[in-house]
Chain A
Amino acid sequence: MSHDTPIIGTSPLRKEGRAKILGTAQYIDDQTLPDMWHGATVRSTIARGRIRSITFAPHIDWSQYAIVRAHDIPGENTIVHLTKDHPCLAAHDINHVAEPILLLAHPDKTALLAAKTAITITYDELPGIFTIEASEAAAEAFNRDPNDTTNIIWPGSTHGGTANCFKQYQMYSGEAAATEDALAAAFESADHIIYGEYTTGAQEQLYIEPNGVIADCDLDPATGHVRGVTVRGSMQCPFYLVHALTLVFNLPEERCRVIQVETGGAFGGKEDFPSVIGSHAALLSMKSGHPVKLVYDRGEDMAATTKRHPSRTRIRTAVTSDGRLLAGEIDIAIDGGAYATLSPVVLSRATIHSPGPYKWPALRVRSKAMATNIPPHGAFRGFGAPQTLFALERHMDKIARTLNLSPEHIRRQNFLATGDHTATGQPLLEPVDMQHLLTRALADSDYHAKRAAFTESNKTSQIKRGLGFATFMHGAGFTGSGERRLNSLVHLDILADGRPQLLVSSTEFGQGTNTILSQVAAQTLSLPYDDILIHEVDTAVVPNSGPTVASRTAMIVGKLVERAAEEILSTLRNQAALPTPHTRADFITAAQTYLTYHPQLRASVRYEPATKIHWDDDLYRGDAYPGYAWAVYVAEVAVDYDTYQTTVTRFDALQEVGRILHPILAKGQIEGGVAQGIGYALYEKCVYKDGHLMNNQMTNYIMPTSADLPVIHVAFEEVPSIHGPGGAKGIGELPMDGPAPAILNAIEDATGIAFNSIPLLPEDIFERLTNFTIHPHGGSEDLDPTIDPATRVETPEVNA
């Protein structure tokens, strides 16, 4: 194919950019439908218990309001994700604070607040379970005595889990029994056994536009029954909401229509949650007979919607004196909150990413997602991987320190390379060069020279400086057989005027979906970028190209667009005399010739794996992802020993994500992800008390501002991949994985203290530093055992 002007690899203007900078882009709260009412949600104020009574104060004329309770739901009272444990509205049982109990709508938005406060709900309260440990303890008590269900907050068996546990995985680097033997032998004979525990907190997505929708029901005038539902709103995955609506309203798919409007940030926070708010607004529309807008304010959005899963990861490794990994046992637990939502798949990604970019002769990973009485945790960029990669990359530095080797040496001893097999047994068929990435990242960041200089200056300065890095990978696309199951479909139409129009359900929420898919189409069709149209994401019109998640849009959907464009060219060459190469005029002529004899010109292309991809869900082995992005991130920090404030003073992000489709968008993705990662490490703390999020405001949930962040240097190694269009791979989630471990590794370099929990706030450093001063042999690691290979006795480590 000839391309006069390259389009892939250049940075054309964002498709919807002009509307955004003019302020004319129409987000959901900017839209109004005729006779539209406004909705509100009445929520539980306790974490666990049963509803005893609901009373409506007499001073309000309730006939003016539409009121929806669980018994009004025409279909099933469930928000379906992977199972049906999650009620749409709480009928009797309460399992978390801010659980929706009833819905209100009124023509006047200002009438809703008074009405909400005029409803009194009383409860028979039960003690809540708020931590992974409490949930585990309850499950253990139940396992000892099946009558002890006091603290079993999630039943399990009917939903594919066990008591208090949504999901468990066990993943081996080889055949299970043989790997168990290899593990036993390695831990018996290794020079060193090193153990660590690492924890991460919840994190709010904090899209600047809160969740919101407008729903409009089509009611049968004779019966009042719902004939169809239309929901428009801010979201990532319109077909997820279609599925949820089919159950809530007991309607076929074609009667449930979802339209995505301009979406003001998402980051996973608008993956699963729109199924909740969308169903609620639709119920209010059904009850009121009007379109209903339901838009949360910030406080409600933060209190009630999903966050990143908190986690605890324990890693035990057997290593040689020169730093080679012989064996590993990784135990992961994540806090799923009150309902399963997406926890099983978040756990899956956490599990598969936990071995990192390393060779493991023998490895066992056990993982579980536990129930707590916290609002359900859900999707957030990285989807489990940031948690376990934080643990592993902190642990790699711990191994280095224990063996008195450099963090660089330890990684170089163990990196996966082209042709090696990952821990799931996947052969790395495409080129992988972590050795080179590390060399380049350390050079770009001037790591060695700066580290030497900081070691000197730290002796006298109250500002302790240090450098740390993380080496990691992120799988693009759905895990395992997921892409096969999604069976994504895209259409590419050529309209009467010869302009191509893409039809996909892949949504734009800032990442650049519209732009990159248009680039791929333009490049493949040899047409100008500006010629490409992209249809509004309306499930009544567009095919299901899958959810916009999992770093899959550029690589998976982009490839479908490329194939669709190739099919159009082939059709026009064979049937309408399109010459090779062709001009824009040739293309339009050929398309119009074709359309003279045919009703339409459309290419419809379905997902086919580029290579033979095999995944075994039972053994949890095989090709986990079609392609991986590889990265080395270097953080430089300054820890102020007077204020205990940590500042990231420079950040270098080097990655190999295949061919870069759009350099400005790609850099923007990495920089934005790094900023969220810095927030995850040092700023963003969800403070819970008895299941209530105490800081559900931007005033006291702190994300980084323009004054807080360092200069973020972004660099790419471009190694084309066969999996994506023009050689591209997935990029979106990768930058969330590396910053937190790189920063805590740097803090350890600066202070000599190993912090293994995030977020790490100044008060945490204060506590540890003062403790450190009081107990000269202290530091963070003195409770973590290592095993003396000579004596086989676990001894506290004192060389922190």
Chain B
Amino acid sequence: MTTITLTVNNSPTALTVPPMKRLLDVLREDLHLTGTKEGCGEGECGACAILFNGELANSCLIPALQADNATITTIEGLAINSAHLHPVQQCFLEQGGAQCGICTPGMILATHHLLAHHPNPTEAEIREGLAGNLCRCTGYMRIFESVKQAITLTPNP
């Protein structure tokens, strides 16, 4: 067992966990943040995507010990509260970007990350930015519409 300290959704936390436990499981089991999903367990689908020190990362590929001192944002950390959604969440809701919803947390974090780096992404940049997140329901078109709407709502630095 190893003790790690990390900041999740702005809350500092200390945990004693097996060093090789997947960060995905630490989030879901130890911190009860079940909005982060497991789709494949091998870093292909992006359902477990989180922001790890500001970068988009698949939490199924990160051992707990590597998360020591990390700053993490999960889907639960994005909205102010259930009435005040993050603009990206609002756009996914309005544009039909979520169907079954299982890829949605990862897809929303990927969009958030994309827009943080490319406030005005081209169509190609949107496609590339989301290519690590698989969606089986939408064919991605409603997701692209969600991202395009979010561009107009996200303050341009």
Contact = CB atoms under 8 A, between A and B. Distances in A.
Contacts of B141: 667-668, 671, 711-712, 714
A706 B136 CA distance: 10
B131 A208 contact: no
B136 A265 contact: yes
A208 B102 contact: yes
B41 A297 contact: yes
Nearest to A665: B96
Contacts of A11: 96
Given A20-B104, A264-B37, A674-B139, A707 B128 contact: yes
B47 interface: yes
B128 to A, nearest CB: 6
B21 to A, nearest CB: 9
Interface string B64-92: 00000000001110010010010001001
A265 B45 CA distance: 14
A668 B138 contact: yes
Interface in A590-641: none
Contact of B98 (A20, A674, A698, A705): A20
Interface string B126-140: 111011111111111
A298 interface: yes
Q: Which of A14, A29, A267, A699 has the most CB of B within 10 A?
A: A14
A706 B143 contact: yes
A673 B140 CA distance: 11
Contacts of A210: 39
A665 B137 CA distance: 11
Contacts of A16: 101
A177 interface: no
The binding surface of chain B is classed by DSSP as loop
Nearest to B47: A208
A510 interface: yes
Interface in A212-262: 262
Interface in A508-554: 509-512
B59 interface: no
A16 B85 CA distance: 15
Interface in B20-51: 28, 34-42, 44-45, 47
Contact of A18 (B36, B44, B93, B144): B93
Nearest to B109: A23
B148 to A, nearest CB: 12
B40 A697 contact: yes
A119 interface: no
Interface in A33-52: none
Given A22-B85, A23-B35, A297-B41, A14 B98 contact: yes
Given A510-B99, A668-B142, A706-B127, A208 B134 contact: yes
A209 interface: yes
A209 B82 contact: no
Given A21-B89, A703-B136, A698 B130 contact: no
A706 B137 contact: no
B103 interface: yes
A102 B118 CA distance: 52
Among A22, A298, A665, A667, chain B packs the most CB atoms within 10 A around the CB of A22
A23 B76 contact: yes
A243 to B, nearest CB: 25
A398 B20 CA distance: 58
A22 B40 contact: no
Contacts of B98: 14, 17, 20-21
A509 B96 contact: no
B102 A209 contact: yes
Contacts of A13: 93-94
Contacts of B42: 298, 697-699
Contacts of A29: 34, 37-38
Interface in A108-162: none
Interface in B100-128: 100-105, 108, 126-128
A664 B100 contact: no
A709 interface: yes
B100 A208 contact: yes
Interface string A350-377: 0000000000000000000000000000
A663 B35 CA distance: 28
A352 B100 CA distance: 30
A703 B140 CA distance: 12
Nearest to B123: A711
A672 B99 contact: yes
Given A667-B141, A674-B139, A703 B100 contact: no
A298 B96 contact: no
A18 B47 CA distance: 18
Nearest to B85: A21
A698 B44 contact: yes
A699 B134 CA distance: 12
Contacts of B142: 664, 667-668, 671
A263 interface: yes
A706 B140 contact: yes
B96 A510 contact: no
A208 B89 contact: no
Contacts of B97: 21
B79 A675 contact: no
Interface string A403-438: 000000000000000000000000000000000000
B95 interface: yes
A5 interface: no
B139 A22 contact: no
A698 B108 CA distance: 21
Contacts of A703: 134, 136
Nearest to A714: B141
A22 B89 contact: yes
B140 A21 contact: no
Interface of A: 11, 13-14, 16-27, 29-30, 205-210, 262-267, 297-299, 509-512, 664-665, 667-668, 671-676, 697-699, 703, 705-707, 709, 711-712, 714
Interface of B: 28, 34-42, 44-45, 47, 74-76, 79, 82, 85, 89, 92-105, 108, 126-128, 130-144
The 10 closest A-B pairs by CB, nearest first: A23-B35, A264-B102, A510-B100, A20-B101, A675-B139, A23-B75, A510-B99, A671-B139, A698-B44, A30-B34
Given A208-B100, A208-B134, 20 more contacts: A11-B96, A18-B82, A21-B98, A22-B76, A22-B89, A23-B76, A23-B104, A27-B34, A207-B100, A208-B39, A208-B135, A262-B101, A264-B100, A264-B101, A264-B102, A671-B142, A698-B42, A698-B134, A705-B131, A706-B143
8 contacts: A207-B100, A207-B136, A298-B40, A672-B99, A699-B42, A699-B44, A703-B136, A706-B126
